[in-house]
Amino acid sequence: MTVPNVEVSDVPVELPEGKVLLDVREADEWAAGHAPDALHIPMSELAGRLEELPADSEFYVVCRMGGRSAKVTQYLNQNGWDAVNVDGGMQHWAAQGRPLVGGVGGAEPEVI
């Protein structure tokens, strides 16, 4: 099965109603820096937290580089959700100057 991908530049900075940026990185990665308004459910916890996914939404799935998010995208699409993988992940997000929030201990947000 081919995983649908989208470039970071094609993800709206402010997501319209019905679209969700789902960050599947681990807690330390999230804490270091993440996109504003993203929904955080680590890949390792997703199967047990599916009820947290907003109904009738389309998902942009992101991780650090795109590998984990591709697996989650495939899983979601095989199980009835509408999802696309954000190619290049949060590394490309940050490289394109997209907003980041977070930061550990008052540090500037970064992608780790």
Active-site positions? 63
CB 40 within 8 A of CB 20: no
Q: Which of 102, 106, 94 is nearest to 63 (CA)?
A: 94
> Which DSSP symbol is given to 25?
S
In the block, which residue shows the tokens 């929904």? 39
Q: Which of 95, 11, 48 is nearest to 22 (CA)?
A: 11
CA gap 8, 12 in Å, rounded: 8
